[in-house]
Amino acid sequence: MKLFQTIESRRSIFPRQYNNRPIKKEDLKLILKAANFAPTHKKTEPWRFKVLQNVYKNDFGKFLSEKYKNTTAKFSEFKFESISNNIKRSSAIILICMQRDPLNSIPEWEEIASVSMAVQNMWLVSTELNIGSYWSSSKLIDHVHEFIKLKKGERCLGIFYMGYYDKKVTKRIPGSYEDKVCWFK
C-alpha cells in the first residue's frame, strides 16, 4: 500500500543533511494544504503556520541564538552557532502554532492533538516530495512571540525545519507494535 510505504519511510531529517536547493512555492502550498485536512473536534481547525524564508528566516535564526545566549544557564558557543546555522541551512522553516478556540469549547489537549495530526500530514507529504523535515520543540519557542506577533490564545508548539537532502535515509525500525497493543476478544 502506497500510503503505508510513505508512513514507514518518514524520518526526521536534520538541517546538517540539507543541501541548498530551494523548495518550490507550489510544494510548500501542497504541504500546507495537506495539514489543513487534519481531523478537528468541533471543527475549530486550530493549526496556524508561519512560513519563514530567506532574510526573514535568517533573522529569526539570529534572534533565536541571541535568545539562547541570554537565557541559558550553561552557554555553549557550539550551540549558539548551530541554532542560527541550522535555520540558515533550511530552505524554509514553519512555525507550528495552535490557536485556542476563544470559547474554550474543547480541552486544550484536543487542539494540540489536531495540530499534531496536521503536522503528520505535512511530514508525510514532505516525505512524498523527498523534502527532509523534522519537528523541533526547543524551549526557545516560548520566545517566538517576541519575534512574530501571535494572536491572543495562539501558542507556538515547535519549528518544522525543511530542506532537500542528498544522502539516502534508512527507515527507522520502531519497537514492536504488538507490545503496545492489547487485543480483547
Ligand X SMILES: Cc1cc2nc3c(=O)[nH]c(=O)nc-3n(C[C@H](O)[C@H](O)[C@H](O)COP(=O)(O)O)c2cc1C
Q: What is the distance between the alpha carbons of residues 7 and 121, in angstroms, rounded to a whole number? A: 10
Cβ proximity to ligand X, 14 vs 41, nearer residue: 14
Q: Which of these ranges, 27-35, 72-80, 85-93, 130-138, lies near ligand X under the rule CB under 6 A?
A: 130-138
- Residue 42: what residue type? K
Between 40 and 136, CB nearer to ligand X? 136
Show the binding pattern over residues 8-47: x = contacts ligand X (CB under 6 A), - = does not: ---xx-----------------------------------
Q: Alpha helix (H) ranges present in 52-136?
A: 54-71, 77-89, 108-128
Residue 120 C-beta: closest distance to ligand X, Å? 8
Provide the 10 A C-beta neighbour count for residue 64. 22
Burial class (CB in 10 A: 0-12, 13-18, 19+), 116: middle
Minimum Å distance from CB 116 to ligand X? 7
Considering only residues 135 to 174 of the shown chain, the ones binding ligand X according to CB under 6 A are 135-138, 158, 172
Burial environment of residue 45 by CB neighbours within 10 A (0 to 12, 13 to 18, 19 or more): middle
Cα maximum dimension of the chain: 58
Give the residue with the Cβ less far from ligand X, 70 or 170.
170
> In the complex with ligand X, which residue's Cβ is closer, 80 or 135?
135
**Residue 25 Cβ vs ligand X, minimum distance, rounded to whole Å:** 26
Applying CB under 6 A, the residues found at the interface with ligand X are: 11-12, 134-138, 158, 172
